[in-house]
Structure 1
Amino acid sequence: MSLLRAKTQDVFNEPACEKNRGKDAKARKEGCSKPLTPGAAAGGCAFDGAKIVLQPITDVAHLIHGPLACEGNSWDNRGAASSGPTLWRTSFTTDLTELDVVMGQGERKLFKAIREIKEAYGPPAIFVYPTCVTALIGDDIEAVCKRAAEKFGLPVVPVNAPGFVGSKNLGNKLAGEALLEHVIGTVEPDDAGPYDINILGEFNLSGEFWLVKPLLDRLGIRVRACIPGDARYLDIACAHRARAAMVVCSTALINLARKMEQRWDIPFFEGSFYGITDTSEALRQISQLLVKKGADPEILGRTEALIAEEEAIAWKKLAAYRPRLEGKRVLLNTGGVKSWSVVHALMEIGIEIVGTSVKKSTVEDKERIKQILKDDNHMLEQMAARELYAMLSECKADIMLSGGRTQFIALKAKTPWLDINQERQHPYAGYDGMVELVRQIDLAIHNPIWRQVREPAPWDCQPAVREELPSTKSETATLHAVQEFAGTTADDFGEC
């Protein structure tokens, strides 16, 4: 427990974080997590954050040491995609019960589970995640993993991020620490080259990194390791021989990028693959870092040629959507890198941003938003569901882009909604991804269903009465009988 506390405090003291550097020593030890409000959702625990970062490593067995519900709540909670192995989609847990806790059988059960996974699946490595229960009862995960690795001849990596130590973001960073301590640098590649890079914080949601990788391939740039999207254990183990790195989501793995630069002299920058301009700028910065590390400067010219070609194709495709979307108002309820990169991407085709959430954004993210929007009036620090509903129901936005948790607010306000977070079904990265994002926004806004649902309901309208007089006495008597029963006269009936 003391070792875990020391690691947690080390992660809190992150020199690469501008916000952290501005704090005093006492505030820095408290970390960045806000105190939880009773009755409110915590937004994920450290264990959940660690699983998010490590589970997309596709050929590894991920073993959760704890009660069954911990694995049930965290399994497959992101739309990451794999181009090969599917072992990461299999759920492994020691399924501790009350009897195991009372009788002290946790460590023995963990060792047995590691052996069964080794014999049945033969993975290149096994990642072990302690949970709140096993951390509190004092199971020595480090010792069990070390003994199992010696016994079975494969890496068994302890990921010390039980839920109670902090927020999901802290769990992201603790997962990076586990990779740094137990995985990265453990294998020496025999094919290292001057054009090898790492991509950190890219989760390959809906396979969107596959829209970016062909661009790098055309430039002769090899992705040594994409952490964690569609990654393999061996690739991550060799990641220390890359020449440069790009950090896509700084809040998740900035500590990993900084320490890899310190240990192996791998320079990094923070960028985005969302939007045409940001994708082009990311390609430029990657090429420039490689040149600084010894690559042939001719790659700079090839990069500019590729950018010019791809931008021309993308803008030609987007031209068809500009007349339909120019002036449309978008509300972004997301966070992190998307809070500014998607803003820039949408403004490129004339869409107006009425607000963007910065609840999960870093200081650097907020500064980028200010530069793009020219002010901070559209930055929403925190918006309650009632306020979000009021904003949408008053037609201050034509569409909301957010995660699945707030989709029903938009639907209740009869406003189009598009998923922009990890559950999304469409890839939005790179040049082709930008075209796809605009296409989905166009489909959502101009879907004819919205015109129908905004019309008054049939039961809110009074039926109109025919102006023609009844042709027979029987019809007249029937009409008077109906009117008398309803307590109305013909004059009371109006048009809808």
Structure 2
Amino acid sequence: MSSLRAKIQDVFNEPACEQNRGKDAKARKEGCSKPLTPGAAAGGCAFDGAKIVLQPITDVAHLIHAPLACEGNSWDNRGAASSGPTLWRTSFTTDLTELDVVMGRGERKLFKAIREIQEAYGPPAIFVYPTCVTALIGDDIEAVCKRAAEKFGLPVVPVNAPGFVGSKNLGNKLAGEALLDHVIGTAEPDDAGPYDINIVGEFNLSGEFWLVKPLLDRLGIRVRACIPGDARYLDIASAHRARAAMMVCSTALINLAHKMEQRWDIPFFEGSFYGITDTSEALRQISQLLVKKGADPEILGRTEALIADEEAIAWKKLAAYRPRLEGKRVLLNTGGVKSWSVVHALMEIGIEIVGTSVKKSTVGDKERIKQILKDDNHMFEQMTPRELYAMLSEHKADIMLSGGRTQFVALKAKTPWLDINQERQHPYAGYDGMVELVRQIDLAIHNPIWRQVREPAPWDCQRAVREELPSTKSETATLHVVQEFAGTTADDLGEC
């Protein structure tokens, strides 16, 4: 556990973390992430965060050394997509029982599970995840993985991020440390070139990266490794030979990008593929970094030509939606890079932002929002469901973009809602993705169901009619009038 504590402290002291730079020495030691409160829900543990980052490596076997529930609760927890291998969709767990714990059979059972996976599937590597139970009973995961790697002749990578050590975000960073310690730099490519890049922190949710990669292909830029979206083990193992990198989500993997720059001189920048302007700027910065690392400057001209063509096509498609959406108000309840990149994307087509959550955003993210919105009055650290409901029910927003956990608040307030987080069904990255995002917002806002659900129910109209009847009328007359309304619909009654 002492090595794990040292690793956690190293992650907390990450110098590339913008949130850490403004602290004094004492505050910096307390860490970048807010510590967990025992017994309180924190939106995911460190194990969950590590699994989120590494599971999209599609040809690897992911083995959870724990009782069954740990894997059952975290399996397929993101909508990442694969263009090939499907091994990552298979759940592997040692399924420890109380008897295994009492009798001290955890390490033996883990070694046996690794052997069975190697014999049945022959993966290029096996990632092993300890959880709270196996970490607390003291199973030496690293020793078992080292012995198994020697015995079976394949990489067996310990991902030392048991749930109790911290938050999901800490688990993200510990997963990056596992890649640095055991994977990246372990294979040498025979085709390294001056146009190789890494994309760090891209999860390929709903196949989003597949909308961006063709743009890079047209520029002759090869993605050496997309970490972790739709990744292969050998791609990540040879990622140290890339010439430049783009950081998509610094909240999760800033430590990985920074240490790759230190060790292998791979410069990186943080950008976004959400929105037309940000996508164009990301392509420009990638090309500029490659030129600084020795690529032919002619790529800069080709990049501008590509941007001009793609922007013209995208704006032409978006022109049809502008009259229908201009001036519409959006409440964005998310965090991280989406807190500013999606804001910028929506404002490009005339949509008004009435609020955006910054709970999971870095200091840099918040500064970008201030620059885009010109003030910080529309930023909120946290908004309770009751506050969200009050804001939506008072019609301060025409639609809410958020994750699945708050969709029912919008539905209760009879307000359109669109999933912008990992469970979404549509890709929103790149030029085509921006058009798709706007199309989905248009469909949600102008869905005729909202006009119907906002109208009073027929029985409410009947009650209103009954109450408005003159008191001199008899009970028989009242019943007769109500019966006349019983066969009508809300459309027939209008506003009653």
Measure how far apart 1:442 and its partner are: 0.0
| Residue correspondences, number | 496
Deviations 1:324-367 (A, max 9, x none): 00000000000000000000000000000000000000000000
Task: Check the 8 A contact 2:12/2:29 in 1, yes or no.
Answer: yes
Deviations 1:355-390 (A, max 9, x none): 000000000000000000000000011111100100
> Which residue is equivalent to 1:92?
92
> Which residue is equivalent to 1:220?
220
CA distance 1:461–1:12, shift in 2 (3 Å): same
CA distance 1:447–1:112, shift in 2 (3 Å): same
Structure 2: gaps (5+ residues): none
Task: Check the 8 A contact 2:45/2:166 in 1, yes or no.
Answer: yes
CA distance 1:486–1:226, shift in 2 (3 Å): closer
> Which residue is equivalent to 1:296?
296
Task: Check the 8 A contact 1:46/1:172 in 2, yes or no.
Answer: yes
Structure 1: gaps (5+ residues): none
Measure how far apart 1:459 and its partner are: 1.0
Out of 470-479 and 36-45, give the one that drifted further: 470-479
Distance 2:435 2:134 in 1: 47
Superposition RMSD on alpha carbons, in Å?
4.2
Deviations 1:220-267 (A, max 9, x none): 000000000000000000000000000000011100000000110000
Task: Check the 8 A contact 2:35/2:166 in 1, yes or no.
Answer: no
> Which residue is equivalent to 1:438?
438
Distance 2:488 2:401 in 1: 48
Measure how far apart 1:29 and its partner are: 2.4
Distance 2:481 2:368 in 1: 71
Distance 1:489 1:27 in 2: 63
Measure how far apart 1:31 and its partner are: 1.6
Distance 1:47 1:189 in 2: 31
Structural mapping, 1:206-285, within 5 Å: 206-285=206-285
Task: Check the 8 A contact 2:107/2:141 in 1, yes or no.
Answer: yes
Measure how far apart 1:25 and its partner are: 2.8
Measure how far apart 1:35 and its partner are: 4.6
Q: Secondary structure at the match of 1:360?
A: coil
Measure how far apart 1:61 and its partner are: 0.1
Q: Secondary structure at the match of 1:473?
A: coil
Deviations 1:4-38 (A, max 9, x none): 11111100001001221222233222223335567
CA distance 1:136–1:215, shift in 2 (3 Å): same
| Identity fraction in percent | 96
Deviations 1:140-183 (A, max 9, x none): 00000000000000000000000011100000000000000100
Deviations 1:259-310 (A, max 9, x none): 0001100000000000000000000000000000000000000000000000
Measure how far apart 1:40 and its partner are: 4.7
Structural mapping, 1:443-482, within 5 Å: 443-462=443-462
Measure how far apart 1:42 and its partner are: 1.1
Distance 1:151 1:491 in 2: 73
CA distance 1:447–1:38, shift in 2 (3 Å): farther
Task: Check the 8 A contact 1:463/1:495 in 2, yes or no.
Answer: no
Distance 2:272 2:339 in 1: 11
Distance 2:413 2:37 in 1: 27
Task: Check the 8 A contact 1:463/1:494 in 2, yes or no.
Answer: no
Distance 1:402 1:426 in 2: 14
CA distance 1:421–1:470, shift in 2 (3 Å): closer
Distance 1:333 1:467 in 2: 41
Task: Check the 8 A contact 1:464/1:494 in 2, yes or no.
Answer: no
Distance 1:348 1:492 in 2: 40
Task: Check the 8 A contact 1:470/1:476 in 2, yes or no.
Answer: no
CA distance 1:150–1:320, shift in 2 (3 Å): same
CA distance 1:477–1:302, shift in 2 (3 Å): closer
Distance 2:71 2:116 in 1: 18
Task: Check the 8 A contact 1:44/1:168 in 2, yes or no.
Answer: yes
Measure how far apart 1:314 and its partner are: 0.0
Task: Check the 8 A contact 1:483/1:490 in 2, yes or no.
Answer: no
CA distance 1:494–1:462, shift in 2 (3 Å): farther
Which of the two has higher C-alpha Rg?
Answer: 1
